[in-house]
Amino acid sequence: MLESLRNFLTGPRLFFVIAACALPFVFLGSTSLLNQDTTRLGSVNGETVTDSDFQVASNITIQRFKTLYGEEFDFSLLDEDTQMNQIKNELIVQKSLLSQARSLGLINNTTRELAKKQIMSNPMFQMDGLFNEGIYEAQVNSNGHTKESYIKLMTDLVATELFRSSLSSEPFYTENEVVEIASLLEQTINVDFIKIDSEKLNSNITNTNDELEEFYNDNEYMFYSDEERKFEYILLTPDDYRSKVVIPNNYINDSYDDYLSKATERNQIRISHIMVDKVNYDNDTDAFKAIQEIESQLLSGAGFSELALEYSEDPVSRENGGDLEYFSPDFFDEKFAEAIKDLKLNDISRIVELDSSFHVIKVTEYQEAEILSFDEMKESITSNLVDSESLALMKDDYDIAYDLIDSNSSITSISNSLSAQITETDFVSLNNFATDINDRRVQEYIFSPDTQLNVPYAIDLEESILVVSLKEINESALKDLESVSLVANDMLSSRKGKDKQSLLAKEIELSKSDGTLDDFISAYTYVTKDNFININRYSSLMPQEIISELFKQSLGDSVTLVSNNNDTYIVDIIKVNEPTDESIAELLEEYNGFSKELISNKISEVVSDEVFNTANVKLNNIIFTNE
């Protein structure tokens, strides 16, 4: 499966398969393919490429693969060259389109506000369904960003995706083209076919002992046991330290007092606005007159949402009645905060002037934060402290273990120092890593050729700490014939069966021409003859890979095909059935959407080729290593 996937994932086209992929949350974890010491990695079309851009490209690439192949798809199963090429392709696409978007002026206040709205609606930055500035700041800081740099990053991504989607958002196609596509895809065929069942054929094959021994000797490399390894480990979790946490005197009281002092900061204010953009007017005076006229209508009782829909020059919020969602000081100009400071629910502000626009603001929701009692908060304060401190104590022991490893201590010494239990595994193989520790990093370490016996190694698994030591190795060895006789017999039968099927297919073609086909077929229990009428392209009557090939044939063709399970089909195309005008008319609306998508993808392919052929790529190749 992975080999065919590698063949498909060549060139840049993968990144245009999904025409409008939602912007992902860009912190999905770091990639081992990137040298983390590097900051500036080069440029594409004059746009600087940093390690942050590399991480974003990596995560977008992973998300696109999951969209294509399902959420369970593991990008890391691809070899590192394939992974790196896909990430580099995405980098080139992102930066090339960003360069174009910048030149067209798409990085502006509108895309910045759109980026802010996406951030505020991201569940990762919310608490109880509402945007939480503290969570937002903690998240972006922990990933090497300031609040402002993350807004800039998201603004660039928004502009890039807007430009990308606009290239193929309005494909042109005629009704005749849609009818032609529908007529082609709604064709059916009538076929006569002969099937050679590989499983039944193989079961009829008898292998002598001499044949098995010869096959075994000629193919010894196929009969080696897996190398097995046994290891021991110490697993530390925060739960191991909860009883060791000491709560300082007055900590709970002080924490509750701090909670009370910040109560007003948790109040939530939702606002809407009507904007007049100065750039749309001959001068600032005319723009101010326009906002004054809107203010006058509001004072006369006109509906705010209706006026926003009709007059607001903010394309992001206009369709939603000017809704800007919940106010956060860091996301809006400080003049907004001043304007709404004393407003109550449904109050409308005075006119607010910014450098490039005028605004009228309305408070549409006001949620005053609930203040919990001391008794209600006591358990939460205690629990939060214990959680954080137990995690910190675990990390301290990780440092201790790391220092002991540096001083060549054994895992037993580390166990004694940490008062932790050592667990020993059974023998496991790379293909059957059945242990209580389900983490790929552990598997990779245990089976690395560089791992030495009885040398401990510490791994930070984020939610736990592992100290692991390889204890014993059972080398791969040739199994004796007796122990693999059943497997060898099946393999030899399968090999003979393929040769037999090839000979039978030729004999069938000869018997068809001399009129002895029925007699020939009756001599074999694993050869059958049948016919199907009106097979469509998605029929389950035959394997899909066989049907796909049949629809590439013409009326009167005879073709021999082998399915994925090794059955052989000798098929004659007897008739091609065209759909009726009535059936096409019923499906026309469905095929309109299909045609739009098909043409969009074709346009995207052209754009993709153009992006890659014209991109001025200056990337520092030293960072694209497998270290």
DSSP track, 329-351: TTTS-HHHHHHHTT--TT-BPPP
Fill in the DSSP letter of residue 478. B
DSSP category for residue 353 = E
Distance (Å, whole) CA 24 – CA 445: 31
Burial 220-246 (b: 16+ CB within 10 A, else e): eeebeeeebbebbbbbbebebbeeebe
- Helices 304-311 and 284-299 pack at an angle, to 10 degrees, of 150
Give me 140's structure tokens. Answer: 């972006």
- Asked if residues 398 and 458 have their Cβ atoms less than 8 Å apart, the reply is yes
Give this prediction's pTM.
Answer: 0.52
Residue at token pair 């996301």: 331
| 475: exposed, middle or buried (Cβ count in 10 Å: 0-12, 13-18, 19+) | exposed
Residues 123, 70: Cα–Cα separation, whole Å: 21
**What is the CA 84 to chain-centroid distance, rounded?**
15
- Give the C-alpha distances (Å, rounded to integers) separating 10 from 3, 83, 128: 12, 11, 43
Query: What CA–CA distance (Å, rounded) separates 153 from 120?
Result: 15
DSSP letter at 98? H
Q: What is the pLDDT of residue 264?
A: 65
* pLDDT value at residue 584: 83
Task: List the one residue out of 19, 317, 319, 265 whose CA is nearest residue 127.
Answer: 265
At 335, the amino acid letter reads: K
Burial class (CB in 10 A: 0-12, 13-18, 19+), 576: middle
* Predicted pLDDT at 237: 94
CB 135 within 8 Å of CB 198: no
Residue pair 437/233 in contact (Cβ under 8 Å)? The answer is yes
Tokens of 118: 């996406």
For CA atoms 149, 150, 152, 157, give the dihedral sign.
positive
Tokens for 168?
């193929």
In angstroms, rounded to a whole number, what is the distance separating the alpha carbons of residues 476 and 223? 10
Quick check: 187 and 578 in contact, CB under 8 A? yes
- Structure tokens given for 384: 């939060």
> H-helix or E-strand containing 561?
strand 558-562
pLDDT at position 509 is 92
Here the tokens at position 33 are 């393919």
Q: DSSP class of residue 73? A: -
Beta strands in 149-297 (DSSP E): 188-196, 228-236, 268-277
DSSP 506-546: HHHHHHHHHT-HHHHHHT-TTEEEEEEEEE-TT-SSS-HHH
Evaluate whether 381 touches 255 at the Cβ level (below 8 Å): yes
- Blockwise average pLDDT, block size 10, the chain, 627 residues: 36 34 41 45 80 81 78 78 83 83 82 82 75 76 78 86 68 68 86 96 95 95 94 95 92 88 72 90 93 93 92 85 75 78 87 90 83 87 91 93 95 95 94 85 91 95 92 95 95 95 94 91 94 91 92 93 94 94 80 61 56 67 41
